[in-house]
Amino acid sequence: MTVAIISCVIPLTTAIAEFNTDDIFYDDFTESRLDMNKWLITEKNWGGTVTENGGTVDYNGGVVSENVSVRDGNLVLTGLGNLYEGEQKGINRDGSQRSDRKRCGGAIATREYYASGSYEISAKIAPVLGCCSAMWTFEYEEDYSGDDVKITNHEIDIEFPGKNENDNFSLSHALCTTRNTEEDYKTKSVNCGNQADGEFHTYRFDWHTGSNTESPRVEYYFDDVLTYTSYDYIPTNESRFWLGL
């Protein structure tokens, strides 16, 4: 079992410039359960397929509500890996229950959509390889009204693990992604120091859509240190904010 604890601070300001408290989305998870007026618990599967026993099956068991809880002022997201032998099962892409109990995580998303601003969490990421601890904005649509399907995909990500200089998975590196179409995106693996030390760390990105006087960009901060800035494929659409394992 792998656990990521997301806790205490999620200020989400809707403008980088001057703002008042009405502009802030915030949750410190001090209630006994997740505030369902603010959040959605995700039941979803993505991540591709593999061939097993001559057939094609979903690689993982997706994310399910049983792996989301609030304990002692923390949002706790649980991951079940290849060694899990308990009773809980994940789901397939079509929503049906999995036959096995492996590779299943948890995720939540804001009910509301938010625009450019500063997004920050305090978190302990999962301290082992084999799963992805992530925060991201996401706005996805499929339009079937024309002859071809038109896909809208706007996204900003911080994901662990990243890749080190030898192209090996590393929990001292994070993948930082900006995307504004299905095909147009940029991912940079940045060195942010050891994140698997069991301590809370602060993860933040400031999303600027640009103006006549400043360039569109996303600035990535790790423990309040500006570590990377992306100027490529900057999203413009309001998005839900996600936390997931």
Enumerate domains of the chain plus CATH numbers: 2-244 (2.60.120.200)
Separation CA 33–CA 86 (nearest Å): 24
pLDDT of residue 3: 58
**How confident is the model over 166-220, as pLDDT tens digits?**
999 999 999 999 999 889 999 999 999 999 999 999 999 999 999 899 999 999 9
Q: Which residue has the higher pLDDT, 70 or 142?
A: 70
Q: Which residue has the higher pLDDT, 22 or 116?
A: 116
pLDDT of residue 22: 59
pLDDT > 90? residue 104: yes
pLDDT > 80? residue 18: no
Separation CA 188–CA 229 (nearest Å): 10
Q: CA-based Rg of the chain, rounded to a whole angstrom?
A: 18
pLDDT > 90? residue 7: no
Which residues lie closer than 8 Å to 110 by C-beta, 6 or more apart? 12, 25, 38, 39, 40, 240, 241, 242
**How confident is the model over 28-71, as pLDDT tens digits?**
898 889 999 999 999 999 888 889 888 888 989 999 999 999 99
Find out whether 196 and 162 touch, Cβ atoms under 8 Å.
Answer: no
pLDDT > 80? residue 9: no
Which residues lie closer than 8 Å to 125 by C-beta, 6 or more apart? 4, 133, 160, 171, 195, 196, 201
Separation CA 189–CA 245 (nearest Å): 19
pLDDT of residue 180: 93
pTM for this predicted structure: 0.90
pLDDT, averaged across the chain: 89
